Structure 1
Amino acid sequence: MNALLVKICGLTSVRDAEACRDAGADLLGFIFHPASRRNAAPEMVRAVHAGKARKVGVFVEQGPDEVAALAEAAGLDFVQLHGGQDEAFCAALGAEFDPGRIVKVFWPERYAAVAELQPDLDRFAAHCSYYLFDAGTSGGGHGKSFDAGLLAGIAPARPWLLAGGLGPDNVAQALLAGPHGVDMSSGVESAPGTKDMEKVRRVIRLVRNGAPGRPADAE
């Protein structure tokens, strides 16, 4: 995986999603959490023509059966577990939904030391195809910047994406941490759930034109 992935999350309309697709986004993110200002309806998500991009559903509180049902209803390619779901949850979901289509989120700030994060990464490796490291200690889309120093010394067994307040002004710095992809929401918006397409295009240009390549052993 030498090409870095760009995920635009918190999409709330077909128009914005397809505009992000046309701008070159690899992953289109939709939040399935009623409490979120960016909550998306399954029928809207299904109506999006993703082309070569892939649809990712973000889940916080639903049970495994409901996640699998919503993934089917919305036509998702991946599900992102953004609520601290445990191994039993992941195993139950994996029985219905290919683990190769699961993104597991971690908040490194929850851990007192990297040595405490590494065992969790190792335990969940069998249950997902990607990790996502987010800022803060829960939730997402809050605009808080991620401290990449929190990842010093870890050895992720899966490709990983970086999230947390990313946008045109700081994505280049984030890439120095060596992620396999970046995930953006509030940093490319004009209002919650409404994407600023000039920011989206700028950030994708920055990733495509200025990103350091992944080493061969990261594939």
Structure 2
Amino acid sequence: MSGRANGLLVKICGQTSRAGAELCAGLGADMLGFIFHAASPRNVDPALPASLDLPGVLKVGVFVAQTPGQVLEIMRAGRLDIAQLHGGQSTAFCRELAEALGPERVMKVVWPEKAAGLEDFQAELDRFAPCCGRFLADAGKDGGGHGRGIAASATDLLVAASFPRPWLLAGGLGPGTLAPALARFGAAGCLPAGLDLNSGVESAPGVKDETLLRQAFAEIDTLCAAKNT
């Protein structure tokens, strides 16, 4: 579902307004993320995504501390397409959602920085694969919004791992950081299926900046064009 030559998906997370969401969609975002976590400055009500009709764009709910029942209710109320589990939820939790929604509508976040090593990280991927359609690899050891890239040693795990599902790369991505972040994966021939951008394209928490967004999309398109020449 991407208009880019190599099919690279772009998700812009932390949407807090109709104007911001419509801007991101108009610039070519494939997915928009809506955070449902009271402690986040980007926390929103399900009414926001429910009010948006953006053909071809997937609306992703980001969940941290909810119960499975609460996730399902917010998914329904917000007219959301994908549930992103960003709170270290268990395999049982993930399986319950997959049974209710279908695994293709579940995206499980993983933090390679907290893995003891490749064997440990690979075991986590294999354990969750049956109950999710995508993974998202983020910086840090839990939560999100760290504003930095994934550490070099953890990047090595991502390169060496065999992902059983498509995966998105997150962590401090924006103008100027996209090419360096992808260079290691491109050199190893294991580019992610997509990118997740948030604070790197903001002027303030939850406020998407049009100039930064345009710069980021231009860099992504340049990277895609170079890959296909």
TM-score bracket for the superposition, by shorter chain length = over 0.9
- Structure 1 position 116, deviation (Å): 0.8
The one of 156, 174, 191 aligned to 2:163: 156
CA distance in 1, matches of 2:97, 2:158: 28
The one of 6, 28, 33 aligned to 2:32: 28
2:106 corresponds to: 102
SS in structure 2 opposite 1:104? strand
Structure 1 stretches of 4+ moved >6 Å: none
2:44 corresponds to: 40
- Structure 1 position 213, deviation (Å): 4.8
SS in structure 2 opposite 1:6? strand
CA distance in 2, matches of 1:79, 1:208: 27
- Name which structure has the greater RCO, CA cutoff 8 Å, separation 6+: 1
Preserved contact between residue 11 and residue 31 of structure 1 (Cα < 8 Å)? yes
Preserved contact between residue 18 and residue 49 of structure 1 (Cα < 8 Å)? no
CA distance in 1, matches of 2:159, 2:51: 41
5+ residue gaps, structure 2: 186-190
Kindly provide the amino acid, as one letter, of the partner of residue 179 in structure 2. Answer: A
1:191 corresponds to: 204
The one of 88, 92, 97 aligned to 2:92: 88
- Larger displacement relative to structure 2 (88-97 or 29-38): 88-97
1:217 corresponds to: none
- Larger displacement relative to structure 2 (126-135 or 198-207): 198-207
- Structure 1 position 150, deviation (Å): 3.5
5+ residue gaps, structure 1: 215-219
- Structure 1 position 97, deviation (Å): 1.3
SS in structure 1 opposite 2:163? coil
Count of residue pairs brought into register by the alignment: 214
- Structure 1 position 12, deviation (Å): 0.4
CA distance in 1, matches of 2:37, 2:77: 15
- TM-score, structure 2 length as denominator? 0.90
CA distance in 2, matches of 1:26, 1:213: 20
Mapping 1:117-156, distance limit 5 Å: 117-147=121-151, 148-156=155-163
Preserved contact between residue 60 and residue 82 of structure 1 (Cα < 8 Å)? yes
2:65 corresponds to: 61
- Structure 1 position 141, deviation (Å): 1.5
Preserved contact between residue 5 and residue 182 of structure 1 (Cα < 8 Å)? yes
Kindly provide the amino acid, as one letter, of the partner of residue 115 in structure 1. Answer: E
Preserved contact between residue 113 and residue 150 of structure 2 (Cα < 8 Å)? no
1:179-205 CA deviation, whole Å, 9 max, x = no partner?
111101111000000011111121112
Preserved contact between residue 97 and residue 106 of structure 2 (Cα < 8 Å)? no
The one of 67, 76, 79 aligned to 1:75: 79
Kindly provide the amino acid, as one letter, of the partner of residue 182 in structure 1. Answer: L
CA RMSD of aligned residues (A): 1.4
